[in-house]
Amino acid sequence: MTNHQSPVTSNEQRITTHESRIYVAGHRGMVGSAVWRALEAKGYTNLIGKTSSELDLRNQEAVAEFFKLEQPDIVINAAAKVGGILANNEYPYPFLMENLQIQNNLIDTAHHMGVSKFVFLGSSCIYPKLAPQPIKEEYLLTDSLEPTNEWYAIAKIAGVKACEAIRKQYGKDFVSLMPTNLYGPFDNFDLKSSHVLPAMLRKFHEAKATNAPVELWGSGTPMREFLHVDDMAQAVVFAVEHVLPEHLYNVGTGTDVTIKALAETIQDIVGHKGELLWDSKKPDGTPRKLMDSSKLESLGWKSTIALNEGIAKTYQWFLANCNHLKEVKN
């Protein structure tokens, strides 16, 4: 794909207006709530959201009834069962099956109900464990996955392929966005099921009062890329507002850091002065995972929030909301 090509070809018209009925599945989660805020900020007035208690996305009949009632023009799938290495290892079946149920119901119903645009959100874990770096979209399915999160990854790969198949067979504007590691407000800070950045932030916060040592998993040598969720939301808005020429796009910053450097950055922002202890008996996961986001960037989207700035903002949100989070020690 050549650089700087327009995302909208000459014979295509923008199909989105500020009055378009946009259903954001998972609108209460970290990504979905960021997408909702971004759409509202741009003047979209017909946003649709349902909590999991109001609509069980695993229930095919319930999803079909909801679509018949609400008649969305655009669907953004930010709903998923998510978690870190520990959660994926301990609960492989729900990570596979519930994600398949959620996305299959949304994709298939959207297709049969004539939804004009579908934005499917996945994860960089869909790519092979030892993929060349940085990871390009074409590396999908070229090698084996990281075993610690393959259940979630396989479900997301199925979603990407379902959207690609609909696009190929029916010419519909179904597109998949694969973000790198996301963080930000409304993240999951539960130590048993959270990802590395929010887990570290909470650990350092809880140890700050006494400057107790903080124990972290692995060696600290793996490298990771982190994208603030508000940047991800802008990528989703970009996909909503344009007809993108391909079915799959990576979404990242183009830079990564070691887990050790991440820990030291979070420690500094939180103000913890204690010792760092690395448990090398715990798994590191994938050695490096840096996304090549040049395809989406060539169309006009680019991340804007630096890691230090994003972590500081996230910690401020955490401080303002930690009394409402389960079992957080102040």
| Domains, the chain, with CATH or none | 22-187+225-255+289-306 (3.40.50.720)
Would you say 313 is a known binding-site residue? no
149 pLDDT band, cuts 50/70/90, is confident
Would you say 180 is a known binding-site residue? yes
Share of the chain above pLDDT 90, in %: 81
Q: Is the pLDDT of residue 49 over 70?
A: yes
- Long-range (24+ apart) CB contacts under 8 A made by 54-60 are 57/25, 57/101, 57/102, 57/105, 57/106, 58/98, 58/101, 58/102, 58/105, 59/105, 60/101, 60/105, 60/109
Would you say 37 is a known binding-site residue? no
Q: Which of 3-12, 29-38, 68-77, 218-227 has the lowest mean pLDDT?
A: 3-12
Q: What is the mean pLDDT of residues 138-158?
A: 94
At 154, list the tokens.
């396989």
Contact yes or no for 214/170 (Cβ under 8 A) = no
pTM for the whole thing?
A: 0.90
pLDDT at residue 20, as a whole number: 95
pLDDT at residue 247, as a whole number: 98
Q: Is the pLDDT of residue 4 over 60?
A: no
Q: What is the mean pLDDT of residues 261-278?
A: 97
End-to-end CA distance of the chain: 51
Would you say 203 is a known binding-site residue? yes
Q: Which of 123-127, 175-179, 255-259 has the lowest mean pLDDT?
A: 123-127
> Catalytic residue at 152?
yes
Q: What is the mean pLDDT of residues 77-103?
A: 88
122 pLDDT band, cuts 50/70/90, is very high
Residue pLDDT, tens place only, 9-29? 333 344 689 999 999 999 999
CA 14 to chain centre: 25
224 pLDDT band, cuts 50/70/90, is very high
Would you say 156 is a known binding-site residue? yes
pLDDT at residue 328, as a whole number: 52
Q: Identify the burial level of 173 via C-beta atoms within 10 angstroms of its C-beta, where 0-12 means exposed, 13-18 middle and 19 or more buried.
A: buried
Would you say 32 is a known binding-site residue? yes
Question: Chain-wide mean pLDDT for the chain?
Answer: 92
Would you say 56 is a known binding-site residue? no
Would you say 121 is a known binding-site residue? yes
Catalytic residue, chosen from 23, 152, 183, 315, is: 152
Residue pLDDT, tens place only, 297-327? 999 999 999 999 999 999 999 999 987 665 5
